[in-house]
Amino acid sequence: MTTVFGKILRGEIPCAKVYEDDEVLAFDDVSPMAPVHVLIIPKKNLAGLNDTDASHEALLGHILATARKVAKLKGITKSGYRVVMNTGADGGQSVFHMHLHVLGGRSLGWPPG
C-alpha cells in the first residue's frame, strides 16, 4: 500500500481518527468539502470498487454500516448526510485505495458535480 491511505494505516502519517475496528479506519478529511467530511478506508488493500468481487460483499456492507456509525458520532443522522464512493479517474477518484466519503453538516446540492 503505497498510497497516502496506506501510509495513514501504517501510522506514517497522522490522522484525526473518528472510528476504527479490525476492518476499517474512518478519519476526518484534511481538505473537507462540507462541515463534516469523513473518509472510511478498508484496511484491506483494494484500489477501488472495481477491484472487489463476491468475496468482498461483507466488507462492502461493513463499510456502509460504518458510514451510519460515523454519521451518528458526528451528530448528522437527523439532518442528513451523503455517502459517496468515487471509482476511477472519470469518477473523481484521486487516491487509488478504495474509500467512502461521509459528508454532512449543511444542505448538499444536487447534482453533485
Q: Is the pLDDT of residue 67 over 70?
A: yes
Provide the mean pLDDT of the chain. Answer: 95
What is the mean predicted confidence (pLDDT) over 36-43? 98
Please give the full DSSP string across 16-54, using - where no structure is assigned. Answer: -EEEE-SSEEEEE-SS-SSSEEEEEEESS--SSGGG--G
DSSP at 61: H
* 24 belongs to a structural domain: yes
Strand ranges for 35-112 from DSSP E = 36-42, 81-84, 100-104
* 33 belongs to a structural domain: yes
Residue percentage of the chain with pLDDT more than 90:
94
Question: How many domains in the chain?
Answer: 1
Q: What is the CATH number of the domain that holds 100?
A: 3.30.428.10
pLDDT in tens, 45-61: 999 999 999 999 999 99
Q: Which structural domain, as residue segments, surrounds residue 55? A: 4-104
Q: Is the pLDDT of residue 113 over 70?
A: no
* 111 belongs to a structural domain: no
Separation in Å, CA 46 to CA 58, 76, 103 = 14, 28, 22
pLDDT at residue number 111: 82
Strands 36-42, 24-28: pairing is: antiparallel
Model confidence at 93, pLDDT cuts 50, 70, 90, reads: very high
Three cell numbers written together for 92 = 473523481
Q: Is the pLDDT of residue 1 over 80?
A: no
Give the catalytic positions in this structure: 99
pLDDT in tens, 5-34: 999 999 999 999 999 999 999 999 999 999
| Cβ 84 vs Cβ 100: under 8 Å | yes
